[in-house]
Amino acid sequence: MSLNGEAGTEIKVSVKITPATKGLFDIVEAKADRGKELSISLTETKQPDGKIYLLTVENRRETKGRYRDTIRLLTTSSIRKELTIPVYGNIKARQIAAITPTGTVQLKGNTGEAIKASVTIVPKKEQMFDIVEAKADKGENIRFTLTTSKEADSKVYLLTVENKKKTPGRFSDTIRLFTTNKIQKEITIPIWGEIWAPEIASIKPRRLTLRGSAGKPVKGSVRIIPNDKYPFSITEVKPRDGKNIKCDLKEVEESGKKIYVLTVENLKKEKGRYYDMINLKTDSKYLPEIRISVSARIGD
């Protein structure tokens, strides 16, 4: 049996207990192991085919939280003296406002871009209140504004949250809205940020595969096309190992655009496999290094 709902509202559940056959047993007592968080009542009605018992369980907890209890029904049965009914309570804080969207505010996007999100808070008519203060737990990576407007007979609050983080990474924060409401003094708005490095170039392929026969030329190429919005130059080419490959980077122009062509040639003279990584250093603040993985399988 579950008692789920908001604090301050009526939360009750009823269950019927009917003996399998007429006169099989009577329920003589109903009690809870703890009883602190709930109240119980047991009523009986007589039907032509026997008694029907109605057990009603009501939540008494006034604050948010969870609890467990067990109700024991003592019977006159010689086979089963006791029936047990487990009770689970999950009481949530009473919602004094309609918050849209619900859940965590998501700030996701590329560095250098404007990333913001808005939340609307509308007080419920039976729970009217003002928001008197707003503050962030950390505030390091966000800035926010809270404005009010009027719709019909109530105020509407608009919370706008903007990312301040200038480097790639993740962060979390919480904005607390302090209210004049007696039931809920504080509304919490969780924030989650995920900032990525921008796509400064089109790189095809990102993983270069060399396949061929020993003693014959085996090579492949990678095209790196800078994004017009984030121009950059490649300043250095450096394989991590370099024992089995030779690298050549050329800057060419296609349709008025600067592009780079990285050619990788196999140097391994006998059959076998190997892996390497080529690091391309750039002058971009968004992506100082581009990595190209190389795998090779040289056969007979």
Identify the CA nearest to 91 among candidates 12, 158, 17, 191: 12
One domain for residues 88 and 174: no
Domain termination site, one of 92, 116, 140 = 92
CATH of the domain at 275: 2.60.40.10
**Within 10 A of 261 (CB to CB), how many other CB atoms are there?**
15
Are residues 243 and 275 both part of a single domain?
A: yes
Residues in the chain, how many? Answer: 300
Residues 60 and 84 both lie in one domain: yes
Q: Is residue 103 located within the same domain as residue 190?
A: yes
Judge if 192 and 205 occupy the same domain. Answer: no
Q: Are residues 206 and 261 in the same domain?
A: yes
- pLDDT of 174 higher than 80: yes
Each residue of 64-78: pLDDT tens digit?
899 999 999 999 998
Is residue 37 located within the same domain as residue 58?
yes
On whether both 212 and 286 belong to a single domain, the answer is: yes
Q: Which residue has the higher pLDDT, 173 or 284?
A: 173
Mean pLDDT of the chain: 92
**Taking a C-beta distance cutoff of 8 angstroms, is the pair 237, 205 a contact?**
no
Q: Residues 156, 66: one domain?
A: no
The domain total for the chain is: 3
Residue 168 pLDDT level (bands cut at 50, 70, 90): confident
Q: Are residues 21 and 71 in the same domain?
A: yes
pLDDT tens digits for 2-59? 999 988 789 999 999 998 877 788 999 999 999 999 999 999 998 888 889 999 999 9
Q: Three-class SS of residue 211?
A: strand
- Average of per-residue pLDDT across 127-143: 94
Q: Looking at 176, 196, 216, which one is the last position of a domain? A: 196
End-to-end CA distance of the chain: 72
What's the whole-number mean pLDDT along residues 168-184? 92
- Quick one: 26 and 107 in the same domain? no
Q: Residue 151 belongs to what domain range?
A: 97-196
- Of 92, 113, 136, the domain-final residue: 92
Of the candidates 70, 65, 107, 114, which has an alpha carbon nearest to the alpha carbon of residue 90?
65
Co-location of 173 and 216 in the same domain: no
Contact 51, 121 (CB under 8 A): no
